[in-house]
Structure 1
Amino acid sequence: MHTVPKYEGWMGLDPSAGQGKMVWQAYEPKQWEETDVEIRITHCGICGTDIHTVLRSGWGPTLYPCCVGHEIVGHAVRVGSQVEKGIKVGDRVGVGAQSSSCLKPDCEECSSGLECYCADMTPTYNAQYKNRNTGEVIGKTYGGYGNYWRGPGHFVIPIPGVIPSAEAAPMLCGGITTFAPLVHNGAGPGKRVGIIGIGGLGHFGLLWAKALGCDKVIALSRTNAKMEDAKKMGADDFIAIDQDEGWNKRHARSLDVIICTVSSPNMPLQKYLQLLRIRGQFIQVGAPEDRMPGFNAFALIQKGAKIGGSTIGTPKEIEDMLKLAADKQVRPWIQERPLKEANQAVVDFEEGKPRYRYTLVNEVNVNAKL
């Protein structure tokens, strides 16, 4: 007989939570279903979405109380009889930013392996689980700033043994957010790729572009402050848009794919589009709380170029990403922070201090016996 663990975590009770005022308390997980997996959490990355949610309700109302964190790694302690992925109790597994979708045979997205675009896409926190047959709400989604997680096994990913848990965690959202659009848009040998913004997302973009074998990888940032870091991550060249005069003309028509991880309404989008080659693609992954800046349509028309967007990635794409990371020994730049110091870590994250991702370490669960 499985003993149901006590679910506790850092809970945001109101918008002050993002200012370092989360409260450690118990909460009730979703109803158990035989399609679920229960995970004892050892590591959880901090993502910008966490701040958008608990501090500003930037993308919609926050369902307080809310436990954020969607870069979860730990060990399976309970596996439902209908979980089809071969996961066993004791396996090291992870969960990213999506924890459910309708998974119905007649759903165009789910049936074609595009679960992250399903109309019933359920985020790993700040949402509600529903019974797939009746539509009845069976619990809220709670994230990884805690000791356990429970949810549908379809979205639980095995972690390759060679990847340390603290490094695997931020790959499950930050990593896949840049990996998926690079792969979708042909990044690889023969392609020239630009990554705008050298932060948590952008640093992953550089690592993946290099690992995928792109001919040239260009990093774009406001100043030269991160130039040396970017080159160590795989950048062949660096553009400081606030310091390098005439950069848009000097590098015009030089890139096949641009992945933009920033979302400022003041970013020089028109100049970025000048960098695209014929039929080049500008892919936005930074999720704004504000509007995108305007641009002249001839920037697209005269080159047959495109502007697109990309969300996280599917379970299959996450597995592919982790395989690439294992095969090519991709090592994200992370800093480990104790889970007990989550409030200070969130404040530091909002102030831009990570180089380049924080991973919270649940020291109690790391040292617990399986």
Structure 2
Amino acid sequence: MSADQFTGWVGLDAKSVEGNLVKTTFTPKTWTEDDIDIKISHCGVCASDLHTLRSGWGPSDYPVVVGHEIIGTVTRKGANVKHLELGDRVGVGAQSYSCLKDDCYECSHDNEPYCSERVFTYDSKFADGSTSYGGYALEGRYPASFAFKIPETLSSEVAAPMLCGGITVYSPLKRYGAKPGATVGIVGIGGLGHFGILYARALGADKVYAISRSKAKENDVKALGGDGILASKEENWTQGWTRKFDLIVSTANNADLPILDYLSLLKPGGKFVQVGLPEEPIPHFPFGPLIQNNVSLIGSLLGSRSEITEMLNLSAEKSVKSWVEPRPLDDVNQVILDMEAGKARYRYVLYN
């Protein structure tokens, strides 16, 4: 591969989400001795990719190469890289850099996603001004500190979506109480939500329920290990479920969330964690339910490096399997359209 020209499927403007990615070359980040180059074999397709391609979360810095559920093999490594070797199979998720300084509160307290110097794996800038590019590509260049060895027993297509979709729900589940004795709810059964059920069960929660608009996915929920499903579009759907849940993790990214209903499901001291990010503001709601019911409303972004390693090892140990549909990278434009149409069950994974 060229030292400074990689090949990928590039979004040139907001219309790229309509199946208009262009296969062309791009210039990766400036090489440092802390970096690795990898030959990309797999990349999961995340809703974040679509939000970014259409500038849904604000103007994107085109041209962009999206994709942050990346698996590949190391083809080049910097002199400072000690934990990886050429040929290692590694994964890179949605974050590719933080300062990792001892005097950084976030980095020294297992909270790298909240470091003020963080760099996301695409549509972001490094300190030298070079751009980060993602995994819809043949090659990638990333700081080695955010590349993770993949356990041998995890296939690449199964492991890829764990690097964003998986860790996005694993981190709040682990931090906020998905454990033996707990009743956990997962809002939204999709790329993130199906991981929520898998990991809540793997972490030992006593009861795991899905919360969706309807019960259309009930069979999938039970096949994933869930105990049942609550349908929020049914009349009086919360009846019999108030104050039953210790923790609810919401993966939904629509703005019309019935948050007051969700909060009513929590026991006193319970936690509602939002990980899905709608493009539109969620309508305001009164503070009364938070105060009177002693419940917490929390946001969570990705997970720490140690949590990613822990999640991958737990997945290997307990045979956690992402529900994936492999698709050729050459078909990426059709895959984007299918993802936008909601056809994924539950994660498309592009492969070279």
TM-score, scaled to structure 2: 0.97
Cα distance in 2, alignment partners of residues 9 and 225 from structure 1: 37
Query: Which of residues 266, 273, 294 in structure 1 aligns to 2:256?
Result: 266
**Cα RMSD between the aligned structures?**
1.3
Which letter does structure 2 place at the counterpart of 1:28?
T
Which letter does structure 1 place at the counterpart of 2:223?
K
- Would you say 1:129 and 2:123 are equivalent positions? no
Q: Please report how far the alpha carbon of residue 129 of structure 1 lies from its aligned counterpart in structure 2 after TM superposition.
A: 1.4
Check whether the contact 1:177–1:313 (CA below 8 A) recurs between aligned residues.
yes
Query: Which of residues 336, 355, 364 in structure 1 aligns to 2:345?
Result: 355
Alignment partner, residue 91 of structure 1: 88
Alignment partner, residue 199 of structure 1: 190
Question: SS at 1:316's partner residue?
Answer: helix
Q: Judging changes above 3 Å, is the alpha-carbon distance between structure 1 residues 49 and 327 closer, same or farther for their aligned structure 2 residues?
A: same
Alignment partner, residue 295 of structure 1: 285
Equivalenced residue count is: 352
Alignment partner, residue 274 of structure 2: 284
Question: SS at 2:253's partner residue?
Answer: coil
Query: Which of residues 100, 103, 109 in structure 2 aligns to 1:103?
Result: 100
Cα distance in 2, alignment partners of residues 289 and 4 from structure 1: 37
Check whether the contact 2:4–2:27 (CA below 8 A) recurs between aligned residues.
no
Question: SS at 2:168's partner residue?
Answer: helix
Question: SS at 1:78's partner residue?
Answer: strand
Cα distance in 2, alignment partners of residues 147 and 63 from structure 1: 21
Q: Judging changes above 3 Å, is the alpha-carbon distance between structure 1 residues 74 and 296 closer, same or farther for their aligned structure 2 residues?
A: same
Q: Please report how far the alpha carbon of residue 63 of structure 1 lies from its aligned counterpart in structure 2 after TM superposition.
A: 0.9
Cα distance in 1, alignment partners of residues 101 and 204 from structure 2: 37
Check whether the contact 1:269–1:293 (CA below 8 A) recurs between aligned residues.
no
1:314-341 Cα deviation digits (max 9, x unpaired): 1111110001100110011110000000
Q: Please report how far the alpha carbon of residue 297 of structure 1 lies from its aligned counterpart in structure 2 after TM superposition.
A: 2.2
Q: Please report how far the alpha carbon of residue 102 of structure 1 lies from its aligned counterpart in structure 2 after TM superposition.
A: 2.2
Alignment partner, residue 9 of structure 2: 10
TM-score, scaled to structure 1: 0.93
Cα distance in 2, alignment partners of residues 241 and 112 from structure 1: 37
Check whether the contact 1:269–1:294 (CA below 8 A) recurs between aligned residues.
no
- Would you say 1:67 and 2:58 are equivalent positions? no
Alignment partner, residue 37 of structure 1: 36
Larger deviation: 292-301 or 214-223? 292-301
Alignment partner, residue 78 of structure 1: 76
Q: Please report how far the alpha carbon of residue 273 of structure 1 lies from its aligned counterpart in structure 2 after TM superposition.
A: 0.6
Check whether the contact 1:263–1:292 (CA below 8 A) recurs between aligned residues.
no
Cα distance in 1, alignment partners of residues 23 and 192 from structure 2: 28
Alignment partner, residue 115 of structure 1: 112
1:247-294 Cα deviation digits (max 9, x unpaired): 212100000000001132222111111100110000000011111233
Alignment partner, residue 294 of structure 2: 304
Alignment partner, residue 152 of structure 1: 143
Alignment partner, residue 133 of structure 1: none
Q: Judging changes above 3 Å, is the alpha-carbon distance between structure 1 residues 89 and 140 closer, same or farther for their aligned structure 2 residues?
A: same
Alignment partner, residue 169 of structure 2: 178
Cα distance in 2, alignment partners of residues 263 and 292 from structure 1: 10
Check whether the contact 2:4–2:28 (CA below 8 A) recurs between aligned residues.
no
Alignment partner, residue 367 of structure 1: none
Q: Please report how far the alpha carbon of residue 296 of structure 1 lies from its aligned counterpart in structure 2 after TM superposition.
A: 3.4
Q: Please report how far the alpha carbon of residue 351 of structure 1 lies from its aligned counterpart in structure 2 after TM superposition.
A: 0.5
Cα distance in 2, alignment partners of residues 111 and 273 from structure 1: 33
Cα distance in 1, alignment partners of residues 245 and 283 from structure 2: 21
Query: Which of residues 159, 166, 180 in structure 1 aligns to 2:157?
Result: 166
1:1-59 Cα deviation digits (max 9, x unpaired): x973751000001111100001000111111111001110000000001000112x122
Check whether the contact 1:336–1:361 (CA below 8 A) recurs between aligned residues.
yes
1:153-187 Cα deviation digits (max 9, x unpaired): 10001000000000111000000000000001011
Cα distance in 2, alignment partners of residues 37 and 113 from structure 1: 23
Q: Please report how far the alpha carbon of residue 114 of structure 1 lies from its aligned counterpart in structure 2 after TM superposition.
A: 1.3
Percent identity of the aligned residues? 47
Cα distance in 2, alignment partners of residues 111 and 238 from structure 1: 39
Check whether the contact 1:101–1:118 (CA below 8 A) recurs between aligned residues.
yes
Cα distance in 2, alignment partners of residues 294 and 314 from structure 1: 30
Q: Please report how far the alpha carbon of residue 122 of structure 1 lies from its aligned counterpart in structure 2 after TM superposition.
A: 0.6
Question: SS at 1:43's partner residue?
Answer: strand
In the TM superposition, what are the counterparts of 1:238-257 in structure 2 within 5 Å? 238-243=229-234, 245-257=235-247
